[in-house]
Homo-oligomer: A and B are copies of this chain.
Amino acid sequence: MLIKEINEIRKVIKEWKKEGLTVGYVPTMGFLHEGHKSLIKRAVKENDRVIVSVFVNPTQFGPNEDYDSYPRDINKDLKLCEKTGANIVFNPNPDEMYFDNRSTTVSVSGLTNVLCGLKRPGHFDGVCLVVSKFFNIITPDRAYFGQKDAQQVAVIKRMVRDLSIDIEIVTCPIIREEDGLAKSSRNTYLSEEERKAALILSKSLLKAKEKLEKGERNPQIVKSIIKDLINSEPLAKIDYVELVDDDSLENIEYIDKNILIAIAVYIGKTRLIDNFTFNIKKRMVF
């Protein structure tokens, strides 16, 4: 079922809550792919009712970013959601979401001035604002986010903790194409040639992972492996390659805790991201 109005979705959710049903929530910007599908599936498995929001959020795009050209297909999204077992697709109008004289900011410092936050100033303020609003409208028991946007997950978790928001944040693994490319709505921007070149992201991360598993603990060496491989691809241009503490997203001198390795790479004009976490404690047990 498609719902566009805030008051209407609130009514439905209040009825569910009266019946004691649990609610799972999957926030998306639409143009859903297998990655989103995996979030919805997990939410369906763990909750009585599932809501998927489809909203290309203007406040998280910079002035020179791809808000206008971001791919949209609400009818396809609706079908995917229905087929996957979601109960409601919430697709609000930007006009109802944002007042002209809106003046409230929700901001997470520290975690947001690194990685994508450094390259996209204001992006995470926009994410925190819209997620706060959806959380307040939907009041789910659990919300599902993809590990693909690793920094987003860290920021949302911190916001939820700091604001005492009573929602469990569930992180789901990155879903990849058969050849390894992380699924993304932005992959549709790629030409055939660029699509091949884009493989360099997952390939370089895989090589770094192998090195870590063999015992490498110097962040500079691990980063160099990734950078060198990406630089060998003529269509690729590195935006960033970072190796940080998994929780605080701070740089580290030596790999002796859980880390996040995150990269952003331009393939032609399209900016793609990918990452993996490396759990040092688990390894030390072996």
Contact = CB atoms under 8 A, between A and B. Distances in A.
Contacts of A111: 103
A64 interface: no
A164 interface: yes
Contacts of A101: 110, 248
Given A136-B164, A136-B166, A162-B99, A107 B110 contact: no
List the number of copies, as a whole number: 2
A45 interface: no
A109 interface: yes
Interface in A100-135: 101-111, 128-129, 132-134
Q: 10 tightest CB-CB pairs across the interface, nearest first?
A: A104-B162, A133-B164, A105-B107, A136-B164, A103-B110, A103-B109, A136-B165, A137-B164, A102-B162, A104-B108
Interface of A: 6, 10, 17-18, 20, 97, 99, 101-111, 128-129, 132-134, 136-137, 139, 158-159, 161-166, 248
27 contacts: A17-B17, A18-B20, A97-B164, A99-B162, A102-B162, A103-B108, A103-B109, A103-B162, A104-B109, A104-B158, A104-B159, A104-B162, A105-B106, A105-B107, A105-B108, A105-B109, A106-B106, A106-B163, A129-B163, A133-B163, A133-B164, A136-B163, A136-B165, A137-B164, A137-B166, A139-B139, A139-B166
